[in-house]
Amino acid sequence: MLRYLIGHLLLITLTAPWIFLAVGQETMVAGLPLWVIYSVAASVVYAIFVAISYGRLWNRAGGQEGVE
């Protein structure tokens, strides 16, 4: 679950358009700024990550005994 938590936090952080801070505003896709397309796409990637994690980790998360 620790790896899931790290991946979850990392992908949420990456939905913010950090990489466009230095790129500028000129690049467009279908008339929209690229950073907007990036943020929506990153959100979709995050959703896919969560959906797959539910499939793979649900049983382990449900039966996991406490760790110290």
Q: For 11-41, b where at least 16 C-beta lie within 10 A, e where not — what string?
A: beebbebeebeeeeeeeeeeeeebbeebbee
User: Does the footprint of other proteins cover residue 10 (CB under 8 A)?
Assistant: no
The CB-of-49 to other proteins minimum distance in angstroms stands at 8
3-state class (DSSP) for residue 32: strand
Q: Which residues bind other proteins (CB under 8 A)?
A: 1, 4-5, 8-9, 12-13, 15-18, 20-21, 23-25, 28, 30-33, 35-36, 39-40, 42-44, 46-47, 50-51, 53-55, 57-59, 61-68
